[in-house]
Amino acid sequence: MENIVSAEWLKNHLDNDNLLVLDATISKVVGDISALSNVQIPGTRFFDIKKKFSSSNTPFPNTIPTAEAFEIATQELGINNDSIVVVYDTHGIYSSARAWWLLKTFGLKNVAILDGGLPKWKSKKFYLEKKNSNNTYKKGNFKALYNPNNVVYFDSLKAISKDKNFKIIDARSSDRFNCIVAEPREGLRSGTIPSSTNLPFNQVLNGNVLKTKAELDIIFEELAERKQHLVFSCGSGITTSVLALAATIAGYNNSVYDGSWTEYGSLTKV
């Protein structure tokens, strides 16, 4: 399955019994804060990044859960090993990328992001239904298989920053990366990971949709060599997954630094 699908593709496959549609919306840290919507794509289930699909045993937000916790949460959503999953959010492509990355990291083979998210679906005037409060589904049989190659942790960063086989790329805005504006999280210092470069996540998007593979190729070729392994960071692990999606489509091996700047800036001093 491709890593990204169009609204037309999803509309044409909604009646597939093996297909599950997930809404992974969270509010943005900065910019367009509100993420509330009272409508959804038919049959949508809520992928709760904050409460269900993040670790509760860490001081840092949105960090990856254990394989056991992830497996339980996905089974509660009715996800099976052979499910075809399409994830969207109400912003376009934002937190849906985090859900895609988590599902990939724990071994789900058939998972894609809806290109343009709910805004694109609405623009096509495709059918919507009112959100329902039902969150109880037939238990799925998904078995989580953690892929450590997808994740980088704090203890590895010092060596990675000195290794020319790796390239650290930060998805935060240029103003945050260059310490022109303060970090939005209270008490978090400004700064950058040593040897990192900046690629604001919205630069791989055309509005709400992902840029073409040809456009993404050009973007990444200007930042890294094909043989380098890309390591993505951001504020708290959400928008870094947008870059992971773009790099995967462009054919680059890549990982996400899960704690991102919130962790790094908290654990290090200038």
Strand partners of residue 111: 85
Q: Would you give the DSSP letter of residue 198?
A: E
Instruction: Match 């056991």 to its residue by tokens.
Output: 68
Looking at 85, 231, 234, 242, which residue is catalytic?
Answer: 234
CB 169 within 8 A of CB 224: yes
Other CB atoms within a 10 A radius of the CB of residue 212 amount to 11
| Known catalytic membership, residue 179 | no
Which of 51, 82, 46 shows the shortest CA–CA distance to 65?
51
Q: Which two tokens stand for residue 68?
A: 């056991």
Q: Would you give the DSSP letter of residue 46?
A: E
Residues in CB range of 81: below 8 A, 6 or more apart: 108, 141, 142, 143
- d(C-alpha 66, C-alpha 68), whole Å: 5
Element (H, E) at 170: strand 166-170
- d(C-alpha 11, C-alpha 101), whole Å: 23
Element (H, E) at 22: strand 19-23
- d(C-alpha 21, C-alpha 24), whole Å: 10
Residues acting as catalytic residues? 234
